[in-house]
Homo-oligomer: A and B are copies of this chain.
Amino acid sequence: MAASAPQPELTLLCGRDRAALEKNAGQLGFAEWSDDWHAVIARPDIDLVDICTPGAMHAEVAIAALDAGKHVLCEKPLANTMEEARELTAAAERARVDGHFAMVGFNYRRAPALALARSLISGGRLGAVRHVRATYLQDWLVDASFPLTWRLDSSQAGSGALGDLGAHIVDLTHFLTGDSIVEVASILGTFVKKRPLAESAIGLDASADQDGQVGAVDVDDACVTVARLGGGGLASFEATRMAPGRKNALTIEVNGARGSLRFELERLNELQLYEIGMPTEGFQTLLVTNPADPYVGQWWPPGHILGWEHTFVHQCQDLLKALTDGRQPEPSFTDGLRVQAVLDAIARSAAGHRWISVDAITG
């Protein structure tokens, strides 16, 4: 890693399960652990709080941390509701005045290939953007016996595939194009409507309750959307946890007046690029592992690929660098609010069977 990158001190790991905290804190390199987040936020030796809770707790914790003078990195999506997202954004604005900053954890912005894609587009290499088509397909809910974890509970997760997966591709659309989604029409679906209650859940793994009790899934398994961008482009989005064989299939293609590019997360070191007027015609596969590529210079020689975790390492580097420089890190809570408005518009469109203007929500 770059010698010049600021290094965080891992002061404290905070959670609810004392046994897990005790076990994990040391392994993850934290000096201490605690199950009392209010106490943590009160400590003067903590400058930065990284919030990885389910969405339902984002607002309470992040606002308290910001108001206590901490910098905050909050997992995506920013919140479960527009109201919370607005409060979070307001708190971030207040904190900013005092030189404390808030960032949302849309980590895929830090995949080198996507950072390169953004710079190609913002540099005009693709011309005006006419099409964005993005999918985020997974399959971990295809098994109908998979239990009802917090990710399937709207009171905790807000929504299903929409907020978990759709949020990423909505943010990437904003990030890559520099444009905004202004209008949507969407359909949401839930294919497995009842599932066993969950006994435990870590990551995407979970085990079912032994009693055979079931509960209702009240979030979406899948979501399909068409949208219009402010600059006139057309977009389509699909997020699902019900696509057998698709493990982490985030794909995004952008077509402009002068060229196209395409990215697939399962081959995250690669970027497909097409430009009109090349000596020969065809999509070029860029293996984004050259020293001049974004984030890459600090790592290995060309062709030695990076893994998924690097998106978080780079995110952390960017955040610490911005804080060191006294700059607002990106994406800000305002960026997160903009994504939230699109998610909200999608949910309303699906519920109401009608077109929704995003401006009407944010306005």
Give 1 or 0 for each of A244-272: 1 = CB within 8 Å of chain B CB: 11111100010111111000011111000
Residue of B nearest to A138 (CB): B303
Which residue of B238, B245, B265, B269 contacts A283 across the interface (Cβ within 8 Å)?
Answer: B245
Residues of B near A290 (CB, < 8 A) are 281
- A213 beta carbon closer than 8 Å to chain B: no
Contact across chains for A245 and B224 when beta carbons are under 8 A apart: no
Residues of B near A353 (CB, < 8 A) are 355
- A96 beta carbon closer than 8 Å to chain B: no
Which residue of B27, B232, B289 contacts A1 across the interface (Cβ within 8 Å)?
Answer: B27
**Given the complex of chains A and B, what is the CA–CA distance between A247 and B234 in angstroms?**
19
Q: Max chain B CB contacts within 10 Å: which of A240, A266, A300?
A: A266
State the interface size on chain A (CB cutoff 8 A): 85
Residues of B near A235 (CB, < 8 A) are 224
Contact across chains for A189 and B234 when beta carbons are under 8 A apart: yes
- A348 beta carbon closer than 8 Å to chain B: no
Q: A133-B238, A228-B187 are in contact. Are A303 and B249 (CB under 8 A)?
A: yes
Q: A191-B232, A222-B234 are in contact. Are A240 and B301 (CB under 8 A)?
A: no
- Chain A residues numbered 134-176 whose CB sits less than 8 Å from any CB in chain B: 135, 137-138, 140, 142
Residues of B near A301 (CB, < 8 A) are 140, 203-205, 247-248
Q: How many copies of this chain does the complex contain? A: 4
- A282 beta carbon closer than 8 Å to chain B: yes
- A122 beta carbon closer than 8 Å to chain B: no
Contact across chains for B260 and A245 when beta carbons are under 8 A apart: yes
Contact across chains for B186 and A226 when beta carbons are under 8 A apart: yes
Residues of B near A24 (CB, < 8 A) are 3
- A44 beta carbon closer than 8 Å to chain B: no
- Chain A residues numbered 179-228 whose CB sits less than 8 Å from any CB in chain B: 185-187, 189, 191, 203-205, 222, 224-228
Residues of B near A187 (CB, < 8 A) are 185, 226-228, 234
- A274 beta carbon closer than 8 Å to chain B: yes
Contact across chains for A247 and B287 when beta carbons are under 8 A apart: yes
**Given the complex of chains A and B, what is the CA–CA distance between A131 and B222 in angstroms?**
9
**Given the complex of chains A and B, what is the CA–CA distance between A184 and B135 in angstroms?**
19
Closest 9 CB pairs of A and B: A247-B303, A248-B303, A245-B274, A307-B307, A185-B185, A304-B308, A247-B302, A282-B286, A284-B284
Interface contacts beyond A130-B240, A300-B309: sample of 17 additional A-B pairs, CB < 8 Å, sorted by A: A1-B27, A130-B243, A131-B243, A137-B255, A187-B227, A191-B257, A225-B226, A244-B260, A244-B276, A265-B303, A266-B303, A285-B285, A304-B307, A306-B307, A306-B308, A307-B307, A354-B355
8 A-B pairs in the complex with CB atoms less than 8 angstroms apart: A3-B24, A131-B243, A203-B300, A204-B301, A244-B259, A247-B303, A248-B301, A354-B354
